[in-house]
Amino acid sequence: MKKVGKPVFFIVALLIVFLTYTSFFGISTQYGDVTKTWIKGADTIRWGIDIRGGVDVTFTPPEGVDATEDELAAAQAVIETRLINQNIADYEVYKDTAKDRIIVRFPWKENETDFNPEEAIQELGETALLSFREGMETDENGLPAGITAENVILSGNMVESAQAVVDQQGLPLVSLKLTSEGAKAFDEATGRLSQESPKGRISIWMDELMISAPEVQAHITDGNAVISNIGDIEEAKDLANKINAGALPFKLETENYNSISPTLGMGARDAMVLAGVIAFILIAIFMILYYRLNGVVAVIALMGQVAGIIIGVTGYFPAIPSFTLTLPGLCGMILSIGMGVDANVITAERIKEEVRAGKTLDGAIDSGFERGFAAIFDSNITMIIVAVILMGSFGPTDSLFAKMLSPIFSMFGPATAGNIYSFGYTLLVGVILNFIMGVTATRLMLKSISKFKPFRKLWLYGGVDE
């Protein structure tokens, strides 16, 4: 930080301006009637059921098929996996074993204009494509790459059954029984991978989502295998359901469907967005008038924080699906921006105190950031803990945070509350960005601009020029 050069301010500021513009408006090109999206804008956000409404659909097996409870649970796991894979957090999935049906509610797609529920449910109605692949190589989007993309060992129809069991030591396992064709393929693959050092892995994929990657411990010749090193019996049941889903003897059919009206509507969203814009403008005016140059730098950093949060929910790049944003999610964004304002106020006050205490300008800036960081860190780390707990407790059971903290969150049981999960997600993204923009970017810009002679006047930092 001591060697920050003069150009750094302009580089950081221009980067923030670029991110701000592209996060809201995106970048796309058009050739004739074909539009190519390079960067997604705010108009691609997938809004939750509370804001935009969605689809209510009931799935059933084909006529004449009496699905077992395990098969329905497997089908439910398929649908949940697909929703999570699309970053759709605001959903509800129920199974009705008495009537052999699965009820699903989820929001409209971000680009939906016709609001046709029949088209919307096509992304959920197919039986999942299950595959066992060699290794666990992925590209930057989490898709199979290298040998993992090239070598499919088993497909879902080669799995006869998967069952969650407990061994003699009480450890959860998933027991696999393969068909004759699957047993032959597994014989060749495990015989080869078990001899590697370190031992090879066989990853299990549901559509384009890797759900497990067990290590090959032994050569399996009889078509009966077990997956070990699973957290608890609930995780074992969940994995078994997903594996069974790839071998379902039926395709899910749509019994009925209808549109869901939003509980709050786009008007509530627009009102909250307008309130946020007005609040940002008032805060910017206050920061600039009261903290002068510190305030100008803080406003630029706040713009970067807002842009970063928008990027976090739009997906930004076309290959990444947008995150489902609910009204509480907007509240999380606004709250995290408030934390960003607080961080900049703390730093500006500390710099002002150091300048008035007689320190040199460079010494005051360094000391101001160092003194203010402890308070900023304490408040922000507390908010991160709260956000992670909300996401782990009320988010999808397959979410990253639920898996990372499964020993803690297993007591809550499976639950999906899209509103709460959305709030936790935007709050977490915003607070992390506060460290990046409100601390790091602000310091870089302020140390850089303070090297220019016109900006070395102490009154610009709250002091009094001699």
Average pLDDT per 10 consecutive residues for the chain, totaling 466 residues: 77 94 88 79 85 87 81 79 73 85 86 74 64 89 88 85 85 89 91 87 84 87 86 79 68 82 80 87 92 92 93 78 82 89 91 88 89 89 87 63 54 57 88 90 92 87 68
User: Do the bridges between strand 324-325 and strand 46-47 make them parallel or antiparallel, or are there none, so unpaired?
Assistant: parallel
Please name the CATH architecture into which domain 130-245 falls. 2-Layer Sandwich (3.30)
- For residue 382, which phi and psi values (nearest 5 degrees)? -65, -45
Residue type, 419: N
Six token digits for residue 113: 């204009």
CATH 1.20.1640.10 residue window(s) in the chain: 7-42+263-461
Question: Please, where in the chain does CATH 3.30.1360.200 lie?
Answer: 130-245
Domain with CATH 3.30.70.3400 in the chain: 54-127+252-260
Cα–Cα dist 4/6, whole Å: 7
What's the burial of 52, exposed, middle or buried (CB within 10 Å: 0-12/13-18/19+)? buried
Q: Which contacts qualify for 439-444: CB closer than 8 Å, 24 or more apart?
A: 439/343, 439/347, 439/369, 439/373, 439/376, 441/12, 441/16, 441/300, 441/301, 441/304, 442/297, 442/298, 442/301, 442/344, 442/347, 443/1, 443/365, 443/369, 444/1, 444/4, 444/8, 444/9, 444/12
65 sits in the region (left: phi over 0; alpha: psi -120 to 50; else beta) called: beta
Helix (H, G, I), strand (E, B) or coil at 135: strand
Domain 54-127+252-260, CATH = 3.30.70.3400
pTM, entire model: 0.70
CA–CA separation, 22 and 359 (whole Å): 40
pLDDT of the residue at 183:
92
pLDDT the model gives residue 270: 86
Spatial CB neighbours of 107, under 8 Å, sequence gap ≥ 6: 46, 47, 48, 49, 52, 53, 54, 55, 88, 90, 91, 324
One-letter amino acid of 120: A
Give the architecture-level CATH label for domain 7-42+263-461: Up-down Bundle (1.20)
Q: What are phi and psi of 411, to 5 degrees?
A: -70, -20
Q: Are 354 and 319 in contact (CB under 8 A)?
A: no
